[in-house]
Amino acid sequence: MNAWPKNKLAGKYLNSKTFSEDWAYVLENASVFNYWRMGEISLVHPIPNDLGTLVLLDDVPYQAKEGPLDLIERFFKLHRLMDYQLMRRTCESLPALPSRKVPIVNTHFSLFPTELPEDSVWLNPLAITHSEEHKMNCLVELTCGLSVELPVHHKTLIRLSNKAVYALAIYRRDYSATLLTDGRPLEYVALPATPFGHLLSKQEFLQDWLSTPGEFFNHYKRQEYLQWYRSLSESDFDSLD
Protein backbone atom coordinates (compact mmCIF):
# COMPACT_ATOMS: atom_id res chain seq x y z
CA MET A 1 0.00 0.00 0.00
CA ASN A 2 1.33 3.41 -0.96
CA ALA A 3 1.96 6.05 1.70
CA TRP A 4 -1.37 7.44 2.88
CA PRO A 5 -1.70 11.23 2.38
CA LYS A 6 -2.29 12.73 5.80
CA ASN A 7 -5.14 15.03 4.70
CA LYS A 8 -6.99 12.61 2.43
CA LEU A 9 -9.97 12.36 4.81
CA ALA A 10 -10.01 16.06 5.70
CA GLY A 11 -13.43 17.61 5.25
CA LYS A 12 -15.27 14.27 5.08
CA TYR A 13 -18.26 13.78 7.38
CA LEU A 14 -19.75 10.52 8.66
CA ASN A 15 -22.73 9.55 10.77
CA SER A 16 -24.01 6.12 11.73
CA LYS A 17 -27.50 6.52 10.23
CA THR A 18 -26.95 7.51 6.60
CA PHE A 19 -24.71 5.98 3.94
CA SER A 20 -23.52 9.15 2.21
CA GLU A 21 -21.13 10.07 -0.59
CA ASP A 22 -18.49 10.66 2.08
CA TRP A 23 -19.02 7.13 3.39
CA ALA A 24 -18.61 5.80 -0.14
CA TYR A 25 -15.40 7.83 -0.59
CA VAL A 26 -13.88 6.59 2.66
CA LEU A 27 -14.68 2.94 1.91
CA GLU A 28 -13.36 3.21 -1.65
CA ASN A 29 -10.04 4.17 -0.12
CA ALA A 30 -10.14 1.56 2.65
CA SER A 31 -8.20 -1.70 2.55
CA VAL A 32 -9.31 -4.90 4.25
CA PHE A 33 -8.34 -4.69 7.91
CA ASN A 34 -5.32 -6.83 8.78
CA TYR A 35 -5.67 -7.80 12.43
CA TRP A 36 -1.96 -8.52 12.72
CA ARG A 37 -1.02 -4.96 11.79
CA MET A 38 -0.09 -3.18 15.02
CA GLY A 39 -0.71 0.54 15.37
CA GLU A 40 -2.80 3.13 17.16
CA ILE A 41 -6.53 2.90 16.58
CA SER A 42 -8.32 6.25 16.59
CA LEU A 43 -11.81 5.21 15.44
CA VAL A 44 -13.96 2.08 15.20
CA HIS A 45 -17.27 2.91 13.49
CA PRO A 46 -20.13 0.63 12.38
CA ILE A 47 -20.90 1.22 8.70
CA PRO A 48 -24.54 1.97 7.80
CA ASN A 49 -26.60 -0.74 6.04
CA ASP A 50 -24.74 -3.51 7.94
CA LEU A 51 -21.67 -3.24 5.72
CA GLY A 52 -19.22 -4.03 8.50
CA THR A 53 -16.96 -1.73 10.47
CA LEU A 54 -14.62 1.12 9.59
CA VAL A 55 -11.29 1.24 11.45
CA LEU A 56 -8.81 4.09 11.46
CA LEU A 57 -5.40 2.66 12.32
CA ASP A 58 -2.61 5.27 12.34
CA ASP A 59 -5.15 7.54 10.57
CA VAL A 60 -5.47 5.08 7.63
CA PRO A 61 -8.97 3.66 6.87
CA TYR A 62 -9.64 -0.08 6.85
CA GLN A 63 -12.82 -2.10 6.56
CA ALA A 64 -13.71 -5.26 8.48
CA LYS A 65 -16.75 -7.53 8.31
CA GLU A 66 -16.97 -7.97 12.10
CA GLY A 67 -18.98 -5.70 14.38
CA PRO A 68 -17.18 -3.04 16.44
CA LEU A 69 -16.80 -4.93 19.72
CA ASP A 70 -15.96 -8.24 18.03
CA LEU A 71 -13.28 -6.42 16.03
CA ILE A 72 -11.77 -4.78 19.11
CA GLU A 73 -11.77 -8.00 21.14
CA ARG A 74 -10.14 -9.94 18.30
CA PHE A 75 -7.47 -7.25 17.75
CA PHE A 76 -6.59 -7.11 21.46
CA LYS A 77 -6.54 -10.91 21.78
CA LEU A 78 -4.24 -11.41 18.78
CA HIS A 79 -1.76 -8.89 20.19
CA ARG A 80 -2.02 -10.36 23.71
CA LEU A 81 -3.50 -7.18 25.11
CA MET A 82 -6.32 -6.63 27.59
CA ASP A 83 -9.41 -8.86 27.72
CA TYR A 84 -12.44 -6.59 27.44
CA GLN A 85 -14.78 -8.81 29.45
CA LEU A 86 -12.26 -8.85 32.31
CA MET A 87 -11.95 -5.07 32.00
CA ARG A 88 -15.72 -4.79 32.33
CA ARG A 89 -15.76 -6.86 35.53
CA THR A 90 -12.80 -4.94 36.92
CA CYS A 91 -14.55 -1.61 36.35
CA GLU A 92 -17.61 -2.83 38.24
CA SER A 93 -15.47 -3.01 41.38
CA LEU A 94 -13.69 0.34 40.92
CA PRO A 95 -15.99 3.39 41.35
CA ALA A 96 -13.65 5.74 39.47
CA LEU A 97 -14.16 3.78 36.23
CA PRO A 98 -17.40 3.45 34.23
CA SER A 99 -19.47 0.29 34.68
CA ARG A 100 -21.55 0.53 31.48
CA LYS A 101 -19.66 2.31 28.69
CA VAL A 102 -16.37 0.70 29.68
CA PRO A 103 -13.18 1.73 27.82
CA ILE A 104 -10.43 -0.65 26.79
CA VAL A 105 -6.76 0.26 27.14
CA ASN A 106 -3.22 -0.82 26.42
CA THR A 107 0.12 0.91 26.91
CA HIS A 108 -0.26 3.04 23.77
CA PHE A 109 -3.91 4.12 23.57
CA SER A 110 -7.43 3.79 24.93
CA LEU A 111 -10.80 3.45 23.21
CA PHE A 112 -14.23 4.18 24.63
CA PRO A 113 -17.74 3.38 23.34
CA THR A 114 -20.17 6.27 22.97
CA GLU A 115 -23.15 3.95 23.44
CA LEU A 116 -23.51 0.35 24.62
CA PRO A 117 -20.32 -1.37 23.47
CA GLU A 118 -21.56 -4.08 21.08
CA ASP A 119 -22.59 -1.84 18.15
CA SER A 120 -21.21 1.52 19.20
CA VAL A 121 -18.80 3.99 17.71
CA TRP A 122 -15.49 3.69 19.61
CA LEU A 123 -13.12 6.65 19.89
CA ASN A 124 -9.57 7.28 21.00
CA PRO A 125 -9.86 10.44 23.13
CA LEU A 126 -6.33 11.54 22.21
CA ALA A 127 -7.28 11.48 18.50
CA ILE A 128 -10.04 14.08 18.92
CA THR A 129 -8.91 17.56 17.94
CA HIS A 130 -12.20 19.46 18.26
CA SER A 131 -15.76 18.82 19.46
CA GLU A 132 -19.01 20.78 19.50
CA GLU A 133 -22.77 20.40 19.91
CA HIS A 134 -24.52 19.60 16.61
CA LYS A 135 -28.32 19.27 16.28
CA MET A 136 -28.75 17.73 19.73
CA ASN A 137 -25.82 15.42 18.97
CA CYS A 138 -22.07 15.93 19.11
CA LEU A 139 -19.67 16.51 16.22
CA VAL A 140 -16.00 15.58 16.62
CA GLU A 141 -13.06 16.18 14.32
CA LEU A 142 -10.17 13.70 14.41
CA THR A 143 -6.46 14.21 13.83
CA CYS A 144 -6.84 13.01 10.22
CA GLY A 145 -9.40 15.75 9.52
CA LEU A 146 -12.38 13.38 9.41
CA SER A 147 -15.55 14.57 11.19
CA VAL A 148 -17.93 12.15 12.90
CA GLU A 149 -21.40 12.87 14.27
CA LEU A 150 -22.17 11.04 17.51
CA PRO A 151 -25.61 10.43 19.06
CA VAL A 152 -24.54 11.81 22.45
CA HIS A 153 -24.50 15.21 24.12
CA HIS A 154 -21.26 17.14 24.28
CA LYS A 155 -21.10 16.83 28.07
CA THR A 156 -21.41 13.06 27.71
CA LEU A 157 -18.53 12.97 25.24
CA ILE A 158 -16.32 14.90 27.67
CA ARG A 159 -17.27 12.63 30.57
CA LEU A 160 -16.55 9.47 28.57
CA SER A 161 -13.26 10.91 27.32
CA ASN A 162 -12.27 11.75 30.90
CA LYS A 163 -12.88 8.15 31.96
CA ALA A 164 -10.92 6.76 29.02
CA VAL A 165 -7.92 9.04 29.67
CA TYR A 166 -8.05 8.16 33.37
CA ALA A 167 -8.17 4.43 32.52
CA LEU A 168 -5.09 4.86 30.30
CA ALA A 169 -3.26 6.71 33.07
CA ILE A 170 -4.12 4.12 35.72
CA TYR A 171 -3.09 1.29 33.38
CA ARG A 172 0.28 2.92 32.72
CA ARG A 173 0.80 3.60 36.43
CA ASP A 174 -0.01 0.04 37.52
CA TYR A 175 1.59 -1.92 34.69
CA SER A 176 4.75 -0.01 33.80
CA ALA A 177 8.01 -0.88 35.49
CA THR A 178 9.59 2.41 34.39
CA LEU A 179 7.02 4.89 35.66
CA LEU A 180 6.81 6.01 39.27
CA THR A 181 3.70 5.30 41.33
CA ASP A 182 3.16 8.91 42.42
CA GLY A 183 2.21 11.98 40.42
CA ARG A 184 -1.11 13.04 38.93
CA PRO A 185 -3.01 11.10 36.22
CA LEU A 186 -2.05 13.62 33.53
CA GLU A 187 1.63 13.01 34.25
CA TYR A 188 1.07 9.56 32.72
CA VAL A 189 -0.80 10.75 29.62
CA ALA A 190 0.49 13.45 27.27
CA LEU A 191 -2.60 15.26 26.03
CA PRO A 192 -2.26 16.63 22.48
CA ALA A 193 -1.91 20.37 21.88
CA THR A 194 -5.40 20.61 20.39
CA PRO A 195 -8.58 22.40 21.52
CA PHE A 196 -9.99 19.10 22.80
CA GLY A 197 -6.73 18.20 24.52
CA HIS A 198 -6.75 21.59 26.24
CA LEU A 199 -10.35 21.02 27.32
CA LEU A 200 -9.45 17.68 28.89
CA SER A 201 -6.43 19.17 30.67
CA LYS A 202 -8.77 21.43 32.65
CA GLN A 203 -11.11 18.66 33.80
CA GLU A 204 -11.21 18.27 37.57
CA PHE A 205 -11.68 14.50 37.24
CA LEU A 206 -8.17 14.12 35.78
CA GLN A 207 -6.32 16.15 38.41
CA ASP A 208 -6.04 13.49 41.16
CA TRP A 209 -6.08 9.73 41.61
CA LEU A 210 -9.28 8.10 42.84
CA SER A 211 -7.60 4.75 43.53
CA THR A 212 -4.42 3.55 45.21
CA PRO A 213 -1.36 2.33 43.26
CA GLY A 214 -1.77 -1.29 42.19
CA GLU A 215 -5.52 -1.41 42.87
CA PHE A 216 -6.50 -1.65 39.21
CA PHE A 217 -3.78 -4.25 38.52
CA ASN A 218 -4.84 -6.40 41.47
CA HIS A 219 -8.54 -6.31 40.56
CA TYR A 220 -7.82 -7.20 36.92
CA LYS A 221 -5.48 -10.05 37.85
CA ARG A 222 -8.10 -11.40 40.27
CA GLN A 223 -10.66 -11.47 37.45
CA GLU A 224 -8.10 -13.11 35.17
CA TYR A 225 -7.44 -15.84 37.75
CA LEU A 226 -11.16 -16.43 38.34
CA GLN A 227 -11.74 -16.80 34.61
CA TRP A 228 -8.92 -19.36 34.38
CA TYR A 229 -10.23 -21.24 37.43
CA ARG A 230 -13.77 -21.45 36.03
CA SER A 231 -12.45 -22.79 32.73
CA LEU A 232 -10.89 -25.83 34.39
CA SER A 233 -12.59 -29.19 34.03
CA GLU A 234 -12.59 -32.05 36.55
CA SER A 235 -9.75 -33.71 34.64
CA ASP A 236 -7.71 -30.53 34.96
CA PHE A 237 -8.09 -30.68 38.73
CA ASP A 238 -7.07 -34.35 38.74
CA SER A 239 -3.88 -33.48 36.84
CA LEU A 240 -3.00 -30.93 39.53
CA ASP A 241 -2.83 -33.65 42.24
In contact, 52 and 63? CB cutoff 8 Å? yes
CA distance 102 to 29: 31
CA distance 187 to 206: 10
pTM of the shown model: 0.91
In contact, 113 and 105? CB cutoff 8 Å? no
Query: How remote is the C-alpha of 112 from its chain's centroid?
Result: 4
pLDDT digits (tens, 9 = 90+) for 25-78: 999 999 999 999 999 999 999 999 999 999 999 999 999 999 999 999 999 999
pLDDT digits (tens, 9 = 90+) for 105-118: 999 999 999 998 98
Count CB neighbours of 6 within 10 A: 12
